[in-house]
Amino acid sequence: MKNIVLLSSAHLHADAYIHELSTVKDARIVGVYDNDTARAEAAGSRYGIPVFSALDAALDASDAAIICSENIHHEMFALETIKAGKHVLCEKPLATTPEAALRMVNAADAAGVLLMTAFPCRFSPAYQQFKQLVNSGAIGDIRALRGTNQGMCPGGWFVQKELSGGGAVTDHTVHVTDLLRDLTGSEVESVYCELGNGLLHGDFEDTGVVTLEFEKDVFATLDASWSRPKSFTTWGNVTLYAVGTKGTLEMDMFNQEGMLYSDLKGKVGVQNWGSSIDRGMVAAFVDSLLSGTLHEKAASGTDGLRAVEVVEAAYASTVALQPAKVNHRS
């Protein structure tokens, strides 16, 4: 039985991870710690789990931690967890700078603990089959890719750069970037990004269209915009379109849904019935804890770092107004 502690519930995904963890054998959630005590209490009663008042006590009681804090605190929580010799599943983006992400990766390596980045899209049955079709040669060699991860603006700390590190490009570039890297087996060489704040007019970017050039002869674009309005039917999407030498393959990851037009709520919304991608990811984390090595489908700390490097290059390109080379750390 593996004991897992939740470190902060600032990120909404904590709800899903806790729920999925309750369905996984061989692991249990021992409690929550948060630097924001009011939020810790709220999470404790929402999930019906104990609240730790000190981080070291929380880590003492655990084999591993799931970090769902504001982006800026990922590094602190991860380094403390690693120092205590415990394993980490960290919400994306792994950190707000590549340097911070690299410190996390190096610390985990030195301590011999697992560091997994929360990229649940890898566990989507649609993506799994997409990858399998591509690898089996169904569309020949991939020449170009087009992706989106459009969403509603989550608001709150996500739009406070001192806590998030950036707006839509920070939040939404990393998922699809990770899928593209996983799919092509190739690193991103350079990035161009156009971004703006034309939707919400805040001091953070809410639109971002990113072009990626891979070391392999493949290019891709991805739309990371918070361009789904409040009145939209769902939170957003993850899509991928691959052009191969022998055909094309398209994915709309969350399209397994019906529509609910509700006069009671004055709202049109989707009813999604697809498989939970978080379940696969959380189960893979627990598997990793049991086996002592990272699950084959899981994203490592280095995968998290590579995505953060792409975000860094995206921002750099908006200053230079030219594609920016990705600076790969090791």
Partner 1 sequence: MNGPTLKVAIIGAGVMGQQHARSWTQVPYATVTTICDFNLDAANKLATEFHAVATASIDSVLASDVDVVSVCIPTCFHTDTAVKVLESGKHLLLEKPMALTVADCQTIEAAAEASGKLLTIGQVVRFFPEYENAKRAIDNGAVGTPAVVRCRRGGIFPLWGTWFHDVNKSGGAIYDVGIHEIDWLLWLFGPVERVYARSLTESLGEDSKQDFALVTLRHKSGVISHMEACWADPVVSYNAFEIAGDGGLLTHDSRNNATLFLSTAEKQEAMSPLADADEPYNKQVAAFAKSIVEGAPLAVTGADGRAAIAVAAAALESSRTRKVVTL
Q: Which of 42, 79, 84, 133 binds partner 1 (CB under 8 A)?
A: 133
Determine the interface stretch with partner 1 among 112-120, 133-141, 217-225, 308-316 (rule: CB under 8 A). 133-141
Sign of CA dihedral 138, 142, 144, 147: positive
DSSP characters over 115-165: EEEE-GGGG-HHHHHHHHHHHTTTT-SEEEEEEE--B----GGGG-HHHHS
The span from the CA of 82 to the CA of 63, in Å, is 11
The candidate with the shortest Cα–Cα distance to 30, out of 10, 12, 11, 57, is 57
Q: Which of 255, 291, 322, 327 binds partner 1 (CB under 8 A)?
A: 255
109: left (phi over 0), alpha (psi -120 to 50) or beta: alpha
Q: Which of 88, 126, 153, 311 binds partner 1 (CB under 8 A)?
A: 126
Determine the interface stretch with partner 1 among 126-134, 150-158, 216-224, 320-328 (rule: CB under 8 A). 126-134
The candidate with the shortest Cα–Cα distance to 32, out of 17, 109, 294, 268, is 17
Shorter beta-carbon distance to partner 1: residue 53 or 136:
136
Least distance between partner 1 and beta carbon 182 (Å): 16
Shorter beta-carbon distance to partner 1: residue 25 or 201:
25
The reply on whether position 129 binds partner 1 by CB under 8 A is: yes
Q: How many CB atoms lie within 10 A of CB 308?
A: 28
The reply on whether position 128 binds partner 1 by CB under 8 A is: yes
Determine the interface stretch with partner 1 among 25-33, 169-177, 208-216, 252-260 (rule: CB under 8 A). 252-260
Q: Which of 53, 54, 162, 258 binds partner 1 (CB under 8 A)?
A: 258
Q: How many CB atoms lie within 10 A of CB 213?
A: 17
Contact pattern from residue 91 through residue 110 relative to partner 1, giving x for each residue in contact according to CB under 8 A and a dash for the rest: --------------------
- 8 Å CB contact between 74 and 90: yes
Least distance between partner 1 and beta carbon 26 (Å): 14
* Angstrom distances, CA of residue 39 to CA of 19, 36, 57, 246: 18, 5, 18, 52
Subset of 265-294 contacting partner 1 (CB under 8 A): 265, 271, 273-276, 279-280
The reply on whether position 246 binds partner 1 by CB under 8 A is: yes
Residues lying near partner 1 in the complex (CB under 8 A): 124-126, 128-130, 133, 138-139, 246-265, 271, 273-276, 279-280
